[in-house]
Every structure is written in structure tokens, then in C-alpha cells.
Amino acid sequence: MPISTPPLSHRNADVAFSADDLVYRYGERTALESLTFSVPAGATFGLLGPNGSGKTTLFRIISTLLRPDEGTARVLGRDCASQPNEVRRLLGVIFQQPALDAELSITENLRVHAALVGIARDEADGRIHAILDQFDLVSRAHERVKTLSGGLARRADLARGFLHRPKLLLLDEPTTGLDPVARRDLWDALDRLQRLEGTTLLVATHLMDEAERCDEVVILDRGRAVAQGSPVSLRAALGTEALWLESEAPEALTNLLVDRLGLSARTFGRRVLIEHEDPAAVLGRIYDAAGDHIVSATVRRPTLEDVFVTRTGQAAAFSFADS
Amino acid sequence: MLRVVRALWQREILKFLRDRARVVGALVQPLAFWVLLGLGFYDSFQMPGGSDVSYLEYLFPGIVALILLFTAIFSTIYIVEERQTGLLQAALVAPVSRLSLVLGNLAGGVTLALVEALLFLLLAPLVGLTPSFVGLLVIVLAAVSMATAFTALGFTIAWRLDTTRGFHAIMNLVLLPMWILSGAFFPAEGVPLAVRWVMYVNPAFYGVAALRDGLYLPEAAPSAAGLPTALALGLSVAFAAAMVGLAVWTVQRRSTVAA
């Protein structure tokens, strides 16, 4: 059933990031369990998973702030644990909260950051102006960050992340707390910059619509990669349409459908998935046989959420609710 | 590395100057302390040994120490806040040495503490104290060592904490007793032996002794605890060096960010 892109070789120059059997434990709790995947250079790559699936831990390892207990993480071939300084030079990171000083203006913030990332002083102001221009922030350059809206502050933070032209930009749920318009603006700005600079974007998210924008996603569940591939191919693995039933007694319903109607049905939490070439056609038969057990029935094209649910066996831990 | 230190230093100064409450508070609060305590104990204070020193005069170097300690330490409280925004992580992910992060923060805190302490020192003639050139050198050196020591100490503590509330609690538990038992508030000669020994092991004691000596040089200061100025100064500088070492060690060992 799984259709996933095979991991590329680590020696391949076209790999921006690779995780190889990564293990990380917080005491007794295992946050990452032999996590293996790779990110092609130039891609927008999604890291999809609910809270606690290991996204943040992985980001800390890539950012050289944590050392993995086992396995290796490489950014363009450089080992995050043993070559942290080289990795840091290639890396830009956008955190959940903007890394900007509220009391300083956008320009002042970017100047400090330019010093931190080692941009020569005589180049810094030109570079800052160029990036602010690309993010449409020139007119706000001298406003203090505390006076900016959440969306603008986030855009200024993106400018900070792009300032030193990183090869790999990590984005940790970058649209948290933004309204839909600001969210779209942010993605538009990201797309523009990526086209211009060829930056590889690695985006951690629990939002399905953001994952859908990615060229490729890896789905994380409790520190493991349960699926990797393009959103289209992952959804295609579930067929063109799927029938979902919601039920008070999902186990009983599943047994009934399998035993009496000979259908292929699986239980996920309160929901039952029926895989069939023409779901609408069997719906009548299902209601005749088991209508009492059914709260609702939905026929729809598979979503990434369905992919997550079927791959992990978990009821959806996240939803479209806030997208 | 100098570039990074300079950038972080500039940021500290800018932030301080823009926070009007902090600018005013930093100057007014010690002044109020000095006047209120100085006048409050005006008639009840008596130097051990009977020398004729008013409490306003006795307290003066103590207030300088107060300014140094508190300005220095509270300049590092931002580290705790920066941990909650992405600011601290962004600095940690940058390709710069941990040492330059420490030095940048130190430079900022020390500058602020020093400028404020020197501003307050302009009031010394009010209590009849006009330091000599050598005295001024001693004062500046003592002030730099204390500011450095306490910025570094604040940095070390802030690095390990997640909330500013925790920071305040620790400061009240550590900083206030250190100040009170530094000889800033009352001379060591007049207290029970046990307390006197606690004062002697308090590193701030030597900074205050050097500050006091500097105000009177070349004459002997009242209550110099019989300590040569050079020794007091040396111990204060040694404490500063130890605290800087501790800060650097902490950052290098614990460069990860608490979950």
C-alpha cells in the first residue's frame, strides 16, 4: 500500500538534509525513534505531526542545540553533532515566536542579527535593505517591533531568517497565531524568496493545508516517520474516494461490514474507513445492513489527515479545525 | 568576535535608554534609599570606635554598591525573557562562539552599572567627599570588578531559569543579603563575631571596602576593616574573574534550551 519516495543516498549532493536512524530520549521518554528521511535540495518539505510527535526535538537536533543519542543528522552532508559551526552557517531558523527584540526597530534587529551571523559590516546595511524590500517592509523598517501586527512581525522575522542566505531554512509552525490573510501573505513571501534564492524549506506543521503546499511531507508519529512522499501520492494510496462512517460502536460495525458484506473496513477511533472502488454504490447496502450503528457517513477524496489516521492507526490527533 | 560583542552591547544600551521607567528608576531609587535611610538613622547611627561620621556619609559607598549590584544583575533578566521568544535560540543557532555571547551581555551590563554608579558619585561632595585622582582610579576599578562579577552572576542564574518570577525570587534570596552584609549598610566592627565572619566571606564585602577606601584616599577610610586597599581590590577582581569563568562554563556546558 505505501507509495513513498525512496530516501536518496546521503552522498547525493542534492540532499539538503538527511536523518539517519535518529534516536533521542528525554530520560525514559523516547522522543525520536530511529527516524530516517531525507529532504531534497530546493524543496518545500513538510514535517507533519501532532504535538509531541518529535518535530521540535528534531528541529533542536538540526539546529545543533541537542545531540542525538544515536544516529546522525546531516545538513548538506555536514554532521549536526560533530560539525555544529559549519551547520550553523548553512542554517536559518524561524522559531514559533519571532526572534526579534520588541524595543528595537526592524532595522536595528536585523543589524544585530547580521553581526551574529557574520555578515561584514559594510555589506550589512545593503543586505538588510534588499531583504526588507523583498518582504515589502521598507516603509516599516524604522518602526519598533512592539508596534507591529503579528503578521508583520512574523514577516520581519522571516527577513531575519533569510538575511544570511541560508541553504536550509527551518520553520517551526511559522503561522501559529496568524489570521488567514496574514497566513497567506506569509506563504506568498516564502514562495517568492524560495524561488529567488533556491532555499530548501523544512516546515514543521500540524496544519493540513500547510502540508498540502509542500512538495513532499514526512508524517511523524511518536518520533517515527510513518509515511513520506508528495501529498498527492500519499493521498492517492488511499484511492480516489473513501467512505468514512462515524459510529457509537465502531468495532461492531466493522465486524458486521467485513463478515456480512465482505467489505474491506478498518476502525480508527470512532470512525470506520471502507475502501471500495465506488463507495457511493455500496452505501445503500451498508445502511440496510447496519444503519442503526451509523451516526454519519461521508464520501470524500482522501486527505492528508486520512493518510495520517490510516498510517498510525490513531484517531486524528489534529484536524482542520484551525485552518 | 568583537563585532558580535559590540552589536550585543549596543543592543543593551539602546534597550535601556528606550525604557524610560528603567532609566528613571535606576537613578531615583538609590537616591531615595540614600536620603531616607541616611536621614532615618541620622541620630541613631554611631560608628564603632566613636569617629564622627554621619550615616549619610557612611552609607554613600554602600549606595554606590547597591547601584552596581542591582543594575548589573537586572540587566541580565532579559535572558530569561529572550528564552521565551526565539531571541536566545536565534543567538545560539548563530555561528558565533558562546564566549562572545557572554562578553556581549557582560559589556552591556557593566556599562550600564558603571555609568549609573558614576552619576551617583557626582553627589559625593554633598557629604564632604572629594576623591583624589588615585582614589578615583581605585573607585573605578572596584566598580568595574563589582559590575562584572554581578552581571556574570546574573547571567549564570538567568541562563538556568525559565521564568522571571524565579529570577526575582533568587535575587531577593541572594542579592539582598549580599548587599546588606557587604559593609554597605553597617560596619563589620559593630556586629557579633558570627555575622562578621559571614561578612568576611561575602565577596561583595571587599568591593565595598575598596569603594570606601577610594573615596577617602590618601587618608584612611572609617571602617576599612583594617584591610589594605590593594588586598580588597585584588579580592574583588578575583571574584569577578571567577564569576566570568562560571558564566562562560555554564554557557558552554548548557547551550541547549530547556524544553
Query: A59-78, pLDDT tens digit by residue?
Result: 999 999 889 999 999 999 99
Mutation choice for A interface testing from B79, B93, B98 by most A CBs within 10 A: B93
Cβ atoms within 10 A of the Cβ of A79, count? 14
Question: Any idea what DSSP says for residue A144?
Answer: B
Task: Determine contact, residues B146/B240, Cβ cutoff 8 Å.
Answer: yes
The b/e string for B162-175 (b: 16+ C-beta within 10 A; e otherwise) is eeeeebeebbeeeb
Mean pLDDT of A131-159: 91
pLDDT reported for residue A7:
47
**Separation CA B100–CA B6 (nearest Å):** 9
Q: Which positions ≥6 away from A319 have C-beta within 8 Å?
A: A305
Which pLDDT belongs to residue A278? 82
Is the preceding peptide bond at B218 cis, omega within 30 degrees of 0?
Answer: yes
Question: Virtual CA dihedral for A31, A37, A43, A48, nearest 10 degrees?
Answer: -40
What's the mean pLDDT in B216-241?
84
A8-26 residue pLDDT tens = 444 455 899 999 999 999 8
Determine the angle formed by the axes of helices A279-290 and A250-261, rounding to 10 degrees: 110
Per the rule left: phi > 0, alpha: psi between -120 and 50, beta: everything else, B97 is beta
Three-state DSSP string of A94-112: ECCCCCCCCCCEHHHHHHH
Query: Which residues in chain A are closer than 8 Å to B11, comparing Cβ atoms?
Result: 101, 104, 108, 112
Q: Is B86 on the interface with A (CB under 8 A)?
A: yes
Task: Return the half-sphere exposure (C-beta side, CA atoms, 13 A cut-off) of residue B187.
Answer: 22
Higher pLDDT, residue B231 or B48 = B231
User: Do the beta carbons of residue B136 and residue B217 sit within 8 Å?
Assistant: no
| Sequence letter at residue B212 | R
Q: Taking CB atoms and an 8 Å limit, are B94 and A97 in contact across chains?
A: no
Whether B254 has a pLDDT exceeding 70, the answer reads no
Q: First-to-last CA distance in chain B?
A: 29
Average pLDDT over residues B146-154: 95
ipTM score of complex: 0.83
Nearest to A65 among B3, B8, B256 (CB): B256
The minimum CA-CA distance between B31 and chain A, rounded to whole Å, is: 27
Read off the C-alpha cell for B63: 549606595
Average pLDDT, chain A: 86
Helix (H) or strand (E) segment spanning residue A62: helix A55-62
- Report pLDDT for A13: 59
Give dist(CA A178, CA A190) in Å, integer: 15
Of A26, A63, A97, the CB nearest to B93: A63
Instruction: Report chain B's mean pLDDT, rounded to a whole number.
Output: 87
Beta bridge mates, A105: A144
Q: CB–CB of B6 and A85 under 8 A?
A: no
What is the SS3 assignment for A268?
strand
CB nearest to A101's CB, from B15, B89, B257 = B15
Percent of chain B at pLDDT exceeding 70: 96
| A263-300: pLDDT as tens digits | 888 888 888 888 888 888 888 888 888 888 888 888 88
Q: Which three cell numbers stand for residue A75?
A: 545538513
- pLDDT for residue A267: 86
In 3-state terms chain A splits into helix, strand, coil percentages (rounded to 5) of 40, 30, 35
The pLDDT value given to residue A159: 92
CB A154 within 8 A of CB A96: no
Whole-number percent of chain A with pLDDT over 70? 93
Instruction: Choose the weakest-confidence range: A110-119, B3-12, B20-29, B68-77.
Output: B20-29
Give the pLDDT band of residue A216 (cuts 50, 70, 90): very high
pTM: 0.82
Lowest mean pLDDT among A61-75, A106-120, B245-259: B245-259
Q: Does pLDDT of A259 surpass 80?
A: yes
* Among A50-64, A102-116, B36-50, the least confident range: B36-50
CA distances (Å), origin A70, targets A22, A24, A81: 6, 7, 11
Alpha carbon A163 to its chain centroid, in Å, reads: 22
- Which letter does DSSP use for residue B127 in this model? G
CA-angle at B200, arms to B198 and B205, nearest 5°: 110
Residues in A closer than 8 angstroms to B96, CB to CB, are 116, 118
